[in-house]
Chains A and B, each alone.
Chain A
């Protein structure tokens, strides 16, 4: 038993540091920025401010320490229990068979001290996740593995497993789990050894796990160079580059006084410009921070994504949890044929930049691989060819259903580029002439379907078909189909979704394997 490290709650104390920093910044700013006539803050000497800051810091520290003390966590066979709160006590139970994803998140400061937060996503609307802040990194990973193990439906194996292998320290990434059965034995052993999770959160006991994680195979990794170039090839970056050029031309040709011009612009719209700069900066920052060192792998527990520069995030998305995929190619990425792949996972919600990315900048081959990661069987004899048509095709080549010529009136440029095609397992929706977009929705993940038509489309005999997915960055819609095609597609898609639901993989993904075993035994 080792005592809980007291620096733990400090991880949330950034705000106070920021305030102090802001004060000193203010103090040392040249007077022309602030103005001379406003010296409210100058009346307070630095010493007093420092004392106030210390008191504030101590308050934040003690409150978060108290909060942390009042947080309890328990892992049942099929449920996660969380109890927290000082004034209002909150109890939360999350069913593990509804588990959608488990993330190990390390903000910068937590990383420095070797801590991590565990974020457990269960299906259930907004704000339904269970967040554990903060655990030792090793403990967080052990808990994640335990949760995934239980969620996979392996708990029955626990009692009757025979020869547990000797627990080894951190041997997991190279664990020679030659067969599934070996792996399960490992998992069972580990689960037995895990002990009481609430002690882990309290820091009074270290997780004594034998195995760190299911064996993982790396599938792709994003080179930093490509990430940077792709960010530079984005619209906002071009804006930043183009502005000085435009300004330069303006000065040269119209003989403007540059200082005067800049002064006028800054003077009139300083706030707006600062806002725009902030938005630009945050765009680049989230792109680079989120995509840095992006690695995707596949394991028994499903997809594993690792990424992040300052804040690192290790995501595990079990099989069958990806609801829809979007492949997007911005205009400037056409030269390099790069694609950005985003996914819908129930529970992740709208937070698309940091969590819902499957590949921040994929080559064409990697984009196909990314789709394959989610849908190993596209249900098509020639998946690469079909996806190729879906990414770059026009008209009805490759068996795509396209918009009729009447759509030209509302959609003059891309009507020939729109296309819909259903394979046996998924619906592909394509659009875009210059900026391209492709949606892939597995039939068994279709939540509901919509058909819609406004007055203009009605006059042209067109209609839209919408596939409703869980909340996220992917909203698949097949627009401007001919009315007959849209009706037929709606009926056919409802039937396909029905068939898809029948062969849907169980929520407990490893339980499917157990089922097969039983069938084999019966035969």
Chain B
């Protein structure tokens, strides 16, 4: 179980980081880049709970710090707490529910963008909020949400297909999801 989680999380983390930093950045130095690592952190918070999300968040932030910041640990701290808070919502987890995780990603993105504005703009003596909103925050928010619509289902699919096949976990899922048993019972019947 734990092994499977790590085995899926590490490649996902590396892949998302590399795509975010190399592929998408190549398109433009100043344009809006979707915050894929945030999608991953919050997504795992909803799918797996605090522990996984915190770990993933911490290492996501650490990568961002190492490759982009003068102070190492700042993004790690932000993503760590994002992961923790997202992980608290794991109790609502239902495989068929898409609105909750997408809303969570939206909220997290807004919080992170707000923090970035305060940390990197206001503390540098730059109060151009209108510019920040128009030039950076809105495009980034839009692109993050767009990518999360594609990536969250992908994460969910991997999770349901390869990770959550543990019997105990399956039982837990059955306990929780009374309403959406149609799909699950089909699966059970097949096995």
Q: Do the two shown chains form a genuine complex with each other?
A: no
Please report A residues at the B interface, Cβ cutoff 8 Å. none
Please report B residues at the A interface, Cβ cutoff 8 Å. none
